[in-house]
Structures are given as C-alpha cells and as structure tokens.
Amino acid sequence: PQTIYLRDYAPPAFLIDDVQLTFKLAPSATRVLSRIHFRPNPDAKDSVFFLHGENLTLIRTAINGNTITPEVTDEGLTCTVPDGPFVFEAEVEIDPAANTSLDGLYMSNGMYCTQCEAEGFRKITYYPDRPDVMATFKVRIESELPVLLSNGNPVAQDDGWAEWSDPWPKPAYLFALVAGDLVNHPDSFTTMSGRDVALNIWVRPGDEGKCAFGMEALKKSMKWDEEVYGREYDLDLFNIVAVDDFNMGAMENKGLNIFNAAAVLASPETATDANFERIEAIIAHEYFHNWTGNRITCRDWFQLCLKEGLTVFRDQQFTGDMRGHAVKRIDDAIALRAHQFREDAGPLAHPVRPESFVEINNFYTMTVYEKGAEIIGMLRRLVGAGDYKKALDLYFARHDGDAATIEDWLAVFTDATGRDLTQFARWYSQAGTPKVTVRDEYSNGTYRLHLSQSTPPTPGQPHKEPLVIPIAVGLLDEGGTEVVKTTLLELTEAAETFTFDDLSGKPIASIQRDFSAPVILDYPQSNKDLAFLLAHDTDPFNKWDAGRRLAQDVLLRMVRDDAAPDAAYLDGLATVLRDDSYDPAFRACVLLLPSEEDTATALVDAGQTPDPMAIYHAHEALKLLLAQQLQDSLPRLYADMTVTGAYSPDAVATGKRSLGNAILSLMSKLDGGKQASAQYTDADNMTQQLAALAALLKIGKGQPELAAFETQWQNDRLVMDKWFGLQVSCAAPRLAATTAANLTAHPAFDLKNPNRFRAVFGALKSNTAGFHDPSGAGYDLLADWLIKLDPINPQTTARVSTSFDTWKRYDPDRQAKMRGALQRIAATPHLSRDTTEMVTRILG
C-alpha cells in the first residue's frame, strides 16, 4: 500500500462551485447522479483532472453535456477536460446493502445512512475527496421510505422524494444522507441574534423515550457556544440521527449529525450515569464542530488535530462548566495517562500532526484527539484566558470558510498576543511523552526547583528537542498554609532552575497543578509528603494525584515484595473518605485505585517486566484490605450516598452514586454480596442495577441476576452490550477468554455491529490479567475474531488490534505468543489496508 506524506501536499488542480446529487435509493442498486461545476484552481501547480472513486459501477459520464469515456482505475477516474470552467456529470451504481464497512452509504437495520469522514465519499460517487475542496451541495433523494434527510435546509418534498440545499460550502467528508422509517423528538432553539432553529433527534420507532436528555444537551451546547465562544448556529434546522451500526461515536456532518445510538440514546432505566455524561459530551463535541471543523475545516488530513484537538478541548471546557472542573480534569488525566501515554510509549507513537500515513482512519487516535486538546490547554495557560479569547476571535474572523493548517492556527496566537510560538510548535511534530524530572533544595530561605526535561525516542524520531512545558507550582509550609500560590513556570530548556525566596522553612511543593502539561513527572516525594498533600493541597487535582501516587506506590510494593500497605495511604484515604466537606464525586476519585494496566506501566517505568497475574492479586488484596480497614465506615457512607426522589443524571446525584457504588464494591468483599443483591433488587435505574451486578460478578456470584438481566433486557441492544461486556470484564482472569468465547456463540453476538464486537473484545482487553493469561487463550481468541472481522469491517478491526500494542513489555513467553497472534493476522490473505498498516506498525 502507498504511503502518503504531509510534505507532498499540493493544492487541488480544480475547485468546485456547486454540486447537485440525485440518489435513487435501492438496497442493492442505488443510483447516484452527480452534476458538478468545476473550474481550474489558479493556485494549482498542475492541471491533472482526477476524481476519487472506489467500489463504484460507472454507468455514464459527461462533460458539458457530452458523453465521454474516462480512464477508470480501482482508485478513481481521469479524463481530459476543456480549458476554463465546465460541468462534469456522472451516474454510478452502488450497493449499500453489501457495504458492511460502515463507510460510505450503507444500511443499518433497514435504514440508509452515510459515513464520509475521512474518505468515504469516494464510495458514493466520483469526486475530489479531499477536505480542501469545498462546495455547496443540493441533494435530491428518491425513495419510498418516509423520512429522507440530507445536509442544510429542506427545499421541497413529496411522496417518494425530498430535496435539500446546504448553503455553506463544505468538503465531501461532511456530506450526509439518511433515509428510513424514523420518528423524531422535536424541539427548537432561538439563537442569540433571534433566529429560530428547529431541532430534531431521529430514531427508530420504540426509541422515542430515549431522546430527551440528548436534546437538552444539544440546547445547552448551543447556548454555551454562544456565551463562551460567541459562536451562533447558522442554519434553520439541526438534525441528529441515531444509528445502531456505526464505527465511531458520532459524526458532525453539516446540519445532520449522525450518532452511534450508544452516544445519544439514554433513559434512566437503560443508561448509566457514565453514559449520560458521555452523551452530553459527544453531543456538545459534534455540535461544536459546526465552527471548529465545518466552518473552518482542515486543509488535509494531517491537520486533523486542528479540528479534533480544539473541539475536544472545547467539549472538555463545556463538561467542566456543566459538571465541575476538578473531577473533569481528574477524569481526563486518568484517560490520557492510561491510553494516550500508552500509545505514545509504544510502537504506535506518532506526532499530534503525523507526517505520513497509509490509512487515515488509523490516525483517529488518542494522540490526535486528547494530546491535541492538551496542547490547546497549554496554549491557553501560557497566554492566559483573555488572550486565548482574542486569538480565537481572530481565528474565526480570519479563517471562516477556509481549509486551514496548524501553521494558520499558531499564527493567530502569535498575531493576537505577540508571542513567538516557534518552539511551542514542536508539540505538534514531536511524538512521545516528555518526562519532567524535578529535584529541589532549600537553604537560608531560598527554595530551588531544578527542572529538566527529556522525551524518549519514538518510531522514526530518535532525537528530541526541548519543548515549552508549562508547569504550575504551589508551595505549602509544614502547617499546610500556601506560602506560594499557583505560579506558572515555563520550562523551555533541557534543564532550568527556578528560585523562590523569602521562605521561613523548607516548603512542600505541589507540582504540575491542574495537570498543567501532558508530561510524566519524575519527582520522588516521600510518602509522608504525599500524605501531607493528600490532606492539605489546595489544588484538587494534585490532592487527588498525591493519593494516586501513594496508592501506586503501595501496589508496586505489594507486587514486588508482598509488602503490607503503608499506613500513610490507608489513613490519608480514610480521612478524605469520611470528610463530608469534599463532594462525593471527588471522594470517589480518591477511592478509585489505579488500574492493573496502570500498575503494569509503573513497573515498566521502574525497569521491570510486569506479571499481570501478580498485579491482579495485589489489586485484589489491596481492595480486600481497604474493605477491612474501612469496615466500620462503609455502611454509614453507603447509606449517606443514597439518592432519593426521581432519577436525575446531574453531577451531584451522579457523584453520590459513584461513591456509593465504589463503597458497595468494597462491602461486597466482606458481606458475600448481601448489600449488592439488595441494591440489584431495589434498583430503579441502570446505574444502580449495573453496579450491583458488577459487584456480585466480581466476587464470583450474580449468576441468577445475570440471567434475570438478560431476560429483562434482551430486546434492548444497548443494554445487552453492557450484559456482554460486564461478564468479560468481571470474569476471573483464568475464565476471561472462555467467557468471551462463549459469548461469541450467543445468538445475540453480531459481528457486523461494532458496539457488540467492542463490548466483548474491549472488555477482554480491559481484563488485563485475563487477556494476558499465560495460556495465550486471550491472544488467540482476539486474533481469530479480528481475522473474521477484517473482511467485514476493516476500520473496527484495525482499531481493536491495538489491544496488542504493549506486547514488547512482557516476558519472552507472552511476547512470543502475542507476536505469533499478530503474525497470524498479518499473514491473512487479502488483509485490509487498515489492519495491515496497524499490525505492521505494532510488530515494529
């Protein structure tokens, strides 16, 4: 397969003024007629006319009305064209019913829908399928299905057809079409300038009752973007459609967002608190794309972080505003460290703006999205909130309607604030997680912090340059008083010293407050100091992180030497847990142990080979110890966390349930599941029901409840995904692969549905000791199913194959088994480009 390079970018040879499309829908033989106004691009370097096209049957082509015979390959079409502007027409036939890749136009449970990002439009018709070609679209859909939707505003419709017009020029990846037997949940929103916008969430009949929350989230997002970023919606209509079969979470098509049903449908009985929060964030994310992604799009796919990093940053701000910033920052840091740091430390490490790819779908990664968002957070911290706003205003004013680049983005900050960002820009080009080493000394009232930075080599990047790293620091005296308030240090050299004068004694430092940069901190603080910070730090992030570091230390000692947990940790934890002045959501974060995967990473960082079984036993032992240690407080705390009244997914109630269910899990280790059984029986919402079931499964019980759950929810696909996943994630390590294998034989297991596939195999990955069982059964099972899935759905196959990306961390026996599994996948005949690229990179 061919590698595409950023450095080879060339402007398009032709631009498009407008596009007219007619769809004559039929499951196996849909006709697509296109009429496109092209003109030569004055900025082009060549004049070759090339249109992308894949899996299309070409029926007819014409230029300026005259039929022509173009040259057609597997990848597209070329022909000679007249000088100056011309009209290109084509008629093609496609087969949506046979399209299981869920890319292009496909069918899901009888409904037609599209997914065109990144390069799916070329499976619909011949077109310059690149984001720097923007055009207005007029679409006519012919079908007997009752609901026919496309981008923009409705123009006209009657029995059997509908016409749509999108006045905003857009790249083809934002095109969307939906046709189906759908019902809507309608609402409306009046924008800040007084425009009335009709809002709809379209679902399959039966799901109407699961739309209200998503609709509220949409209205909150629209309001928030007006208030915080000054961004107003720009069409008369905003449609969201829920689709069962979808590779991603959701897609920001102009005026017609298409959502994975799991990312929009929710009711108290069927969705957990975590689902509600995720739905609110994804609705916001896709809505925010209307400005950061659609009005201003990307010049090419290397610039993906331009829209994704910024839009993730915006949805994080939104969630913080809606639900509280401290816990949001903690949640984001947990996810970043667990998944993005993992990616950045392994064979798949790549810059936030990659320099090459084979298949762009493989670069919708934690690095592009989440590290991309962290870069924007650092920029905001460095220039300050006021200048950040100035820069964003300039970005929208200067680039509205553009297909822009990271250089454009940084230039806006330089022009608005005067700051030179030449060095800062390395964050976009340099892969790997920087390590910041901190050493300190105190004498005669002066405290010195010696900071140094280094970034390890990553594939293709042996040498790294120093970055601009904002490190937020506060100093506490030994009484717990803050003697230096949060101060932002800018580390720009390989090593630098920062001095604090006029102190009356050696302070205790709180470093990297609010997780001010996506770096690994190497600052050996004593458990005494960490316990002190857990008790006294005024920065909620570092207060939590001190507890986290203590817990990780305890776990490492338990794995290595079977040591008993440090009293500093147990006492500190108990104190926070019992302190009602902290909100329950925060206390739940403090109680949450690092994951087994986190402990494996900590061991690797300390130069040791992780043994997943030993880690599992240490985690189980610590949980039991915590349960015993906190025994006297647990029933009271559990009772205190009772939420009365009708279920609401708000932050306060969510926090209480979150702490209550963490306590329930501990209580179950001592009471044989008595309380969990009671909670299961009493539960009137999915959060309580599922947490009770999980607590029971984790202690080897819950089989009757599991059966009852299946009977109760067998007709709800989203709830059944939970049923599939929970059994695997809660299985004892030895049984995880067998449990997953048995579930793949269940009649409701569906290889064509990515949610179901991920429910089983995502859970298998998350069961660290189970996946890495020394028998290799987990590896073999996953490889078998990836090989089966690849011809059906390459995108999801490639994505899930990343479960193997840590293979080089392990002992020779596990390494050999994982390498064998990867090689078996790689050797599969006709393996997709997606999976080939991924597996090749993982093998290194």
Residues that bind ligand DPP (CB under 6 A): 117, 248, 250-252, 285-286, 289, 308
How many beta carbons lie within 10 A of that of residue 71, not counting itself?
10
Structure tokens at 366: 């934690």
Check whether the bond before 695 is cis (ω within 30° of 0): no
How many beta carbons lie within 10 A of that of residue 12, not counting itself?
16
Pick between residue 166 and residue 286 the one whose CB is nearest to ligand DPP: 286
Report how far apart, in Å, the C-alpha atoms of 829 and of each of 595, 783, 786, 791, 803 are.
Answer: 37, 14, 13, 10, 21
Residue 210 CB, shortest distance to Zn ion, in Å, is 23
Instruction: Find the residue with minimal CB distance to ligand DPP.
Output: 251
Answer yes or no: are the C-beta atoms of 317 and 228 closer than 8 Å.
yes
- If contact means CB under 5 to 8 A according to the sort of partner, which of ligand DPP, Zn ion, none does residue 425 touch? none
Pick between residue 315 and residue 566 the one whose CB is nearest to Zn ion: 315
Strand residues in 183-249 grouped as ranges (E): 183-190, 196-203, 237-243
Catalytic residue among 286, 343, 370, 596: 286
Pick between residue 252 and residue 705 the one whose CB is nearest to ligand DPP: 252
Give the SS3 label for residue 349: coil
| Helix pair 540-561, 612-629: axis angle to 10 deg | 120
85: closest CA among 33, 36, 144? 36
**Which range, of 16-24, 203-211, 233-241, 302-310, touches Zn ion by CB under 5 A?**
302-310
Pick between residue 132 and residue 252 the one whose CB is nearest to ligand DPP: 252
Please tell me the distance from the alpha carbon of residue 474 to that of residue 285, in angstroms, as a whole number: 33
CA atoms within 13 A on the CB side of 581: 3
- If contact means CB under 5 to 8 A according to the sort of partner, which of Zn ion, ligand DPP, none does residue 117 touch? ligand DPP
Task: Identify the residue whose tokens are 């107003």.
Answer: 232
Please tell me the distance from the alpha carbon of residue 37 to that of residue 18, in angstroms, as a whole number: 6
Residue 273 CB, shortest distance to Zn ion, in Å, is 23
Pick between residue 280 and residue 596 the one whose CB is nearest to ligand DPP: 280
**Quick one: CA torsion of 103, 104, 105, 108, rounded to 10 degrees?**
10
Residue 305 CB, shortest distance to Zn ion, in Å, is 10
| Helix pair 584-591, 567-578: axis angle to 10 deg | 160
Pick between residue 341 and residue 363 the one whose CB is nearest to ligand DPP: 363
Give the SS3 label for residue 131: coil
Pick between residue 289 and residue 809 the one whose CB is nearest to ligand DPP: 289
Determine whether 286 is an active site residue: yes
Pick between residue 373 and residue 473 the one whose CB is nearest to Zn ion: 373
Question: In the β-sheet with 482-491, what is the strand arrangement from edge to edge?
Answer: 482-491, 469-476, 508-511
Residue 834 CB, shortest distance to Zn ion, in Å, is 19
Pick between residue 260 and residue 767 the one whose CB is nearest to ligand DPP: 260
Please write down the long-range contacts of 570-574, taking CB distance under 8 Å and 24 or more positions apart: 570/625, 570/626, 570/629, 571/531, 572/530, 572/531, 572/534, 572/535, 572/547, 573/534, 573/547, 573/626, 573/630, 574/629, 574/630, 574/633
Pick between residue 210 and residue 289 the one whose CB is nearest to ligand DPP: 289
Residue 289 CB, shortest distance to ligand DPP, in Å, is 6
- If contact means CB under 5 to 8 A according to the sort of partner, which of ligand DPP, Zn ion, none does residue 250 touch? ligand DPP
DSSP string, 53-109: --S-EEEEEEETTEE---EE-SSEEE----SS-EEEEEEEEE-GGG-TT-SEEEEET
- If contact means CB under 5 to 8 A according to the sort of partner, which of Zn ion, ligand DPP, none does residue 361 touch? none
> How many residues form the binding site for Zn ion (CB under 5 A)?
2
Give the contacts of 703 (CB within 8 A, at least 6 positions apart): none
Give the SS3 label for residue 821: helix
- If contact means CB under 5 to 8 A according to the sort of partner, which of ligand DPP, Zn ion, none does residue 244 touch? none
Which string of x and - marks every residue 252-291 that binds Zn ion (by CB under 5 A)?
Answer: ----------------------------------------
Residue 838 CB, shortest distance to Zn ion, in Å, is 21
Give the SS3 label for residue 610: coil
Answer yes or no: are the C-beta atoms of 792 and 583 closer than 8 Å.
no
Please write down the long-range contacts of 374-379, taking CB distance under 8 Å and 24 or more positions apart: 374/336, 374/517, 374/518, 375/305, 375/309, 375/427, 375/428, 375/518, 376/309, 376/310, 376/313, 377/313, 377/316, 378/424, 378/427, 378/468, 378/469, 378/470, 378/516, 378/517, 378/518, 379/413, 379/421, 379/424
- If contact means CB under 5 to 8 A according to the sort of partner, which of Zn ion, ligand DPP, none does residue 273 touch? none
Please tell me the distance from the alpha carbon of residue 66 to that of residue 62, in angstroms, as a whole number: 5
- If contact means CB under 5 to 8 A according to the sort of partner, which of Zn ion, ligand DPP, none does residue 251 touch? ligand DPP
- If contact means CB under 5 to 8 A according to the sort of partner, which of ligand DPP, Zn ion, none does residue 132 touch? none
Answer yes or no: are the C-beta atoms of 318 and 251 closer than 8 Å.
no
**Which range, of 137-145, 308-316, 686-694, 740-748, touches Zn ion by CB under 5 A?**
308-316
- If contact means CB under 5 to 8 A according to the sort of partner, which of ligand DPP, Zn ion, none does residue 248 touch? ligand DPP
Residue 624 CB, shortest distance to ligand DPP, in Å, is 40
Residue 282 CB, shortest distance to ligand DPP, in Å, is 8
Please tell me the distance from the alpha carbon of residue 183 to that of residue 152, in angstroms, as a whole number: 19
Pick between residue 313 and residue 638 the one whose CB is nearest to Zn ion: 313
Residue 287 CB, shortest distance to Zn ion, in Å, is 11
Residue 128 CB, shortest distance to Zn ion, in Å, is 23
Residue 516 CB, shortest distance to ligand DPP, in Å, is 25
Residues within the interface to Zn ion (CB under 5 A):
308, 311
Q: Which residues are annotated as catalytic?
A: 286
